[in-house]
Amino acid sequence: MRELTIDATLENIGPVTGFVNEALEGLGCPAWIQYQIDVAIDELFGNIARYAYRPGIGPATVTVEVTKAPPAVVVTFVDQGVPYDPLAREDPDVSLPLEEREEGGLGIFLVKKTMDDVSYEYREGRNILRIKKHLP
Amino acid sequence: MTITKEAAGTALTLSLQGRLDTGTAPQLDAALKESMDGVTDLTLDFAGLEYISSAGLRVLLSAQKVMKKQGSMVIRHVNETIMEVFEVTGFSDFLTIQ
């Protein structure tokens, strides 16, 4: 397991992505899966940076675990900001035509669709959000 | 992300390299706002683009809304990961992807 604790800011999405990608090196993780995980980091860490400690700044801890049977990557995001369950949000209507589309709401939806499992819990004052992606 | 611009008359091509995400989406937004005036044929070339997140989708949504009024917008050379993003979000229904 690898762990990184860093200020939850939009500027730190890059370092967090680099940290997770480094952990994936040598696992034979195909590029398209790595890209999906990178998108999930952009959405989830980005949300923590935008909302968790607003208007201040606080830390988030990101852990990467690799399981062997079945082969999978689990990335966990933990923050101590306001309790917020992003999975409780209703899915956007993706059948709406262009004119009726509004900005926003697609990030979490995208994560739910591209990861094999997404879970949330609030425990001891911490938001714990976990994504899992199986490796081929 | 790097953006290469190529203009010919009212046609404009923007070629993107890298990642279109929270950090870089404002860059594309600015490039479009700066050069979309009077453009009737906008091409976005994604050959060098690795992935797109919802921040990038927001920029594409507003660009598509503008171009629908003043001409057309085409997205070329979309990789598998990006195509999946367009499909699950329903963006493939209103974007022209070649």
B51-77 mean pLDDT? 97
What domain range includes position B88?
Answer: 2-97
Tell me the nearest-neighbour CA distance from A119 into chain B, angstroms. Answer: 20
Strands (E), chain A: 2-7, 59-67, 72-79, 117-123, 126-134
Interface test with A, best of B22, B50, B96 (most A CBs within 10 A): B22
- How long is chain A? 136
Identify the three-state secondary structure at position A97.
coil
**pLDDT score for A103:** 77
Grouping H, G, I as helix, E, B as strand and the rest as coil, residue A14 is: helix
| Number of domains making up chain B | 1
The encoded tokens of residue A75 equal 């990335």
Taken in order of first residue, the domains within chain A and their CATH numbers are: 2-134 (3.30.565.10)
Percent of chain B with pLDDT over 90: 100
Name every chain B residue with its beta carbon within 8 A of the beta carbon of A13.
21-23
Give the number of beta-carbon pairs within 8 Å between A and B. 76
| Length of chain B in terms of residues written | 98
How far apart, in whole angstroms, are the C-alpha atoms of residue B57 and residue B25? 9
Nearest to B21 among A42, A99, A103 (CB): A42
- Is A75 exposed, middle or buried, given 0-12, 13-18 or 19+ CB atoms closer than 10 A? buried
For A93-112, write each residue's pLDDT tens digit.
999 999 999 877 899 999 99
Q: What percent of chain A has pLDDT over 70?
A: 100
Q: Which backbone phi and psi does B74 adopt, to 5 degrees? A: -125, 140
Let me know if A70 is exposed, middle or buried by CB neighbors in 10 A (0-12, 13-18, 19+): exposed
The domain that holds B67 is classified in CATH as 3.30.750.24
* Phi, psi for residue A81 in degrees, rounded to 5: -85, -160
3 state DSSP class of B3: strand
**Which residues pair with residue B51 across a beta bridge?**
B19
Burial of B35 (0-12, 13-18, 19+ CB in 10 A): middle
pTM of the model: 0.95
